[in-house]
Amino acid sequence: MDLSLLYYSVQWLAGFIALVTIWGWIPLDNWWVRCVEFPRIQIMVLGVIAWMGMLVFWSEWQLGQWLLFMVLSMALAFQLRMILPYTRLWKKEVQQAKETPVGEAHQLKIMISNVLTPNDQTQKLVNLVQRKEPDVLVILESDEKWETALHQIEPDYPYTVKVPLDNLYGMHLYSKLELIDPVVKYLMIDDIPSVHSQLRLQNGRVIWLYCLHPMPPSPTEADKSTTRDAELLMVGKHIKENNQTAILAGDLNDVAWSKTTRRFQRISGLLDPRIGRHFINTFHADYPFLRWALDHIFHSACFTVVDIQRLPSIGSDHFPVMTTLQYEPEKTSQQAQNTPTAEAEDIKETESKIEEGKKEGEKVSKEHAEKQPNLG
């Protein structure tokens, strides 16, 4: 094999990793900037390969090689800082639930599944739900076909919210626990719903549940991440201002280490149970190397974690994920959980982003309306 070709390939890979890392710092919402926030694990892996390759070919480097090696090293340090919190090497943001005798623990099992509207393997999800028996089931990208298929589980789920849509943003909520005054809202875009409801736990405590599925920044959907970011921050702000005990669940079309999701945590005060544990990469189910976490649960500090698990494929491009939480309000009084707090800059940026999101949402809603067929 031509070693010179291999050497130059390593150089090009090192330069690419450095460029992609720096590219992500550009303060724009355009999809071609924000998309580099997603594959940080993959960037890290390729960056390590390039870094080791440069060491293997170490010789009498010129100034350019030294500078490239230094920039690559700094890029890897940054990428590592972004993904390291989602490993066991980091301090847990949410404590592990204490062992409690069966029947005494106030636990809540929540399953999220983006089913992919064209996916016809509906029975796989039904079988999985019947086997795992979640207390709350959040279904995304569901249409009339999926609603009909899920009639099988309704005897076990007396409380439902159904928003069947064929635009990839349908949403269905099934609950064994009482849903109190559930409301379907369209926060940013007229045809992209979210569900807001109070939820009565087994111990009688009432909390808030928010189910979201904002539009992602991509060349085929939203040119910018503005409406996605604004929707998440709007809900986070609402939770904080109303001092709510809350759980937010859904396909956020964002990764946990993005600047928006981290700001959402600081604004809302909600915790991420994955921090200090492990990645729960749910998308893309068909491509093992191209996977990251799009399906999330964030919750108030009065919950601890029993278990988080990615579930088997149901034929969608997303894996389902189920999180089991335990209600332990004493954790809050002991300040044992690592609750994030907002700074003045977070509040200022949140207000600005929400206003931008509303304007962008009006624009996108108008575009979507114009694309609808005229049935008149």
207-219: per-residue pLDDT in tens?
Answer: 999 999 999 999 8
pLDDT single digits (tens) 328-370: 987 654 445 778 888 999 999 999 999 999 999 999 999 888 7
- Which stretches in the chain have pLDDT values below 70? 1-2, 60, 101-105, 331-336, 373-376
The b/e string for 189-227 (b: 16+ C-beta within 10 A; e otherwise) is beebbbbbbbbebeeeeebbbbbbbbbbbeeeebebbbb
Report pLDDT for 375: 44
The b/e string for 280-295 (b: 16+ C-beta within 10 A; e otherwise) is bbbbbbeeeeebbbbb
Positions of E strands within 147-284 = 159-163, 171-175, 179-185, 194-200, 206-212, 246-251
DSSP-based three-state secondary structure for 4:
helix
Report pLDDT for 258: 95
